[in-house]
A and B are shown apart, each in its own frame.
Chain A
C-alpha cells in the first residue's frame, strides 16, 4: 500500500524555486560593434540625411523670398488647400474606422476575425497605384458606378472626391494598426469594471478606453495624417492633374519638376519635409509618453 500527501497552494508557491540567472555577456568584439555602427550611420547619412539636406538646400538656395514666392503662388496655394482638405476628411474618417476596427477586433470574438485583421493590412500590401486604378475602374466614365454617377451629376474620378477615396484607402491601416496591439496588451478588465459599475458603452469608450489608448491613437493619427498629405501614387492616378483644381502638394511638386522649375519644386517639397520633421518629433514625444504610461502600468 502506498500513501501520498497532497499539499495545497502554499507548497505550490514554495516549489517556485528561484531560478539561476542565465544571462550572459553576449556582446560581440568591439571592432564588430564599431563596424556595424559605422555601416548603419553611413547608410542613414547616404539615404536620409543627404537627400533631406539637398531638398532644404535646393529650396532655400535662392533665398527666402524666392521660396516664399514659390510657396505662395496661386497654384501652390491651391495644392496646399486641397492637401489640407483631403487630410481633413481622410484622417477623421480613418480615425473613426480605426477605433471601431480596433475595438471590435480586440473586444469581441467573432467568425472572420482573422480575415478582417489581415484585410486591414491590405492597403499596406497593395501598390497605391492600384488603389487609384480601382477608384477609376469603379467611378470612371466606363466604370461600374461611373454611369450612375454621371447620370446624377456626381464627379468622383478626376475630381476631389476620387482623391479623398483613394487617400482613405491608402491610409486606412495606420490608426487600426497602431491601436490593435496596444489594446490587446491592455486587456479588458478596466472596461469590464466600468460596465459593472453601470457605465454605458459610450461612457466606457470615452472615459476608459480612449483615455487609456490616447497616445497610441494620437500616434496613429499623426502617421495617418503624414501619409494622407504625402500620398502620391494613388492620388496621381485619380486626380487628372488639373492645376489649381485637383493637384495636391506631391502632385504639384512633380509638375513643377517636370517643367524644370526646380527651385519652386524644391521649395514646395520642403513643406512636405517640414511635415516629416513635425511627425518625427511628435512620434518621439508619443513614444516617450507611452513608455511612461507603460511603466506606470507595470507598476500598477
Chain B
C-alpha cells in the first residue's frame, strides 16, 4: 500500500507543527521518520492514523483519499510509544480486542490470536497481564495487536524509546526480520539516527515541520542535502569559510566545491572520522593541539584546539592508529580533512555556532 502525502500542514494554536509536507512512500517498505523532538514527526504519524486531522493537504493510501475517513475506518495498525496495552485485559485478550470489536467469530479470533502470539514469540504468555511482562514483551504484544486485523499500514511511534539499550538492539533486528517476512508498509518515528539506519529501507529527515531529505540510509548519510541533515546525523566539525568559482576556502585551506555558487559565505563540514591526524605537517593540513583523548570502545575520540580554525574540534581514530601516534593532551599535531561537504549561503544557526573565534 503506497502512501502519498501532499502539502500537509498542521498547527496547534498559533504553533505550526507541519508546514506543507509532501512525501511519497512506496508500498511494502519500512520508512523511518527521523528528526529531533518537536519536528512534527509524531504529528505526521498521527495524521496518517487519523488521530489528527491536517489543516491543509491530502493523505492518500493506494490512491484513495483518506480525508473524512476516521481512525476507526482506516484499518491501520498503530503501536504507541508506551504500548497503550489494555491493563485490565490479558495478553490474549489484548490481541483479540481489534477482532472482537469487529465481531469476528470466536473460533477465528482464537486461531488468529494464537497465530499472532506465535509470530511475536509469546506463545505461552496469553494468560498473563501486561503488568507481568517485560518492556520488550509488551512491545511485542502491542505489535501483535496492531497486526491483528491485517492492516494496510503499520505505524510505530518511537517503538523502542522506552526500552533499555540491549533489548532495543534485539527488537530492532527482530522488527526488521518481521518486516521482511510480512512486507506490510510500515512507518516508524524515531529521534535516534542509529535506529533509523539499522531498521529502515528509507529515511525521511524532518526538521521544524518540514521534510529536509528523503533517501536510503546510505544516501542521507553520504550526501546530506542540508546543513541540518549533516549535523543531525552524527558528530561533525563545522568551519566557516567562503566559496568562489567552484572552490571553497577555509583559512589557508582550499577544497574543491563544484556545486557551490559564486562568491558567497559558506560552511564546511568534516566528520570526525574524516579528519586525519598526523604528527608532522602534510599538504592541506593545519596545526592543532590535543586537549583530551576519550576512549569510546571501538574508536577513540580526540578533542583538539586549532585557533583560528576552531576551539573544539573532534577527530575519531581507531585505537591502533592512536597507539601509533601516541597522542597525549598538549601534543602538537596536524589535521587534514579527508572529505569535506560544503554548504554555501548564510545560516544564522550555524553562524552562531562558529562566530566565537572570528
Contact = CB atoms under 8 A, between A and B. Distances in A.
Given A207-B97, A296-B131, 9 more contacts: A2-B308, A2-B309, A2-B310, A4-B310, A6-B232, A8-B193, A192-B80, A196-B71, A300-B85
A3 B310 contact: yes
Interface in B113-141: 129-131, 138
A200 interface: yes
Interface in B262-314: 270, 272, 308-314
B117 to A, nearest CB: 17
Nearest to A2: B357
Contacts of A300: 83, 85, 87, 130-131, 138
A195 interface: yes
Interface in A6-27: 6-11
B49 A196 contact: yes
A194 interface: yes
Given A2-B311, A189-B84, A196-B76, A9 B192 contact: yes
A290 B296 CA distance: 46
A54 interface: no
Chain B interface extent, by class: 35 or more
Contacts of B354: 1-4
B101 A10 contact: no
B313 A5 contact: yes
Interface stretch (B14-22, B206-214, B233-241, B321-329): B233-241
Nearest to A193: B84
B102 A296 contact: no
B75 interface: yes
Nearest to A195: B71
Contacts of B250: 1
A203 interface: yes
A10 B296 CA distance: 12
A3 B230 CA distance: 14
Contact of A200 (B84, B101, B270): B101
A193 B78 CA distance: 7
B88 A212 contact: yes
Nearest to A298: B131
Given A197-B101, A199-B101, A208-B86, A9 B193 contact: yes
A7 B235 contact: yes
Interface in B210-262: 231-241, 250-251
12 contacts: A1-B239, A3-B239, A3-B310, A5-B312, A6-B231, A190-B87, A192-B51, A195-B70, A196-B49, A198-B72, A199-B72, A211-B86
Contacts of A9: 191-193
B353 interface: yes
Given A193-B80, A212-B88, A300-B130, A5 B51 contact: no
Interface of B: 49-51, 70-78, 80, 82-88, 97-98, 101-102, 129-131, 138, 145-146, 148-149, 191-194, 231-241, 250-251, 270, 272, 308-314, 353-358
B237 A5 contact: yes
A177 B146 CA distance: 34
A5 B357 contact: no
Contacts of A152: none
A192 to B, nearest CB: 6
B72 A195 contact: yes
A293 interface: yes
A57 B239 CA distance: 90
A190 B82 CA distance: 10
Given A197-B98, A296-B87, A5 B235 contact: yes
A196 B51 contact: yes
Interface string A19-45: 000000000000000000000000000
Contact of A189 (B77, B82, B98): B82
A229 B92 CA distance: 43
Contact of B102 (A1, A198, A208): A198
B104 to A, nearest CB: 11
B50 to A, nearest CB: 7
A111 interface: no
A293 B72 CA distance: 28
Given A10-B194, A193-B78, A1 B85 contact: no
Contact of B310 (A1, A198, A293, A297): A1
A212 B310 contact: no
A295 B18 CA distance: 37
Contacts of A2: 238, 240, 308-312, 353-358
A194 B101 contact: yes
A299 interface: yes
A198 B87 contact: no
A94 B231 CA distance: 57
- What are the 4 A-B residue pairs with the smallest beta carbon separation, nearest first? A3-B310, A296-B131, A197-B98, A193-B84
Interface string A177-217: 00000000000011011111111100100011001100000
Nearest to A214: B88
Contacts of A197: 97-98, 101, 145-146, 148-149
B72 A200 contact: yes
B224 to A, nearest CB: 12
Most chain A CB inside 10 Å of its own CB: which residue of B76, B87, B250, B270: B87
A10 B238 CA distance: 20
B314 A296 contact: no
B234 A8 contact: yes
B237 A4 contact: yes
Nearest to A211: B88
Given A192-B84, A198-B149, A6 B235 contact: yes
Nearest to A297: B87
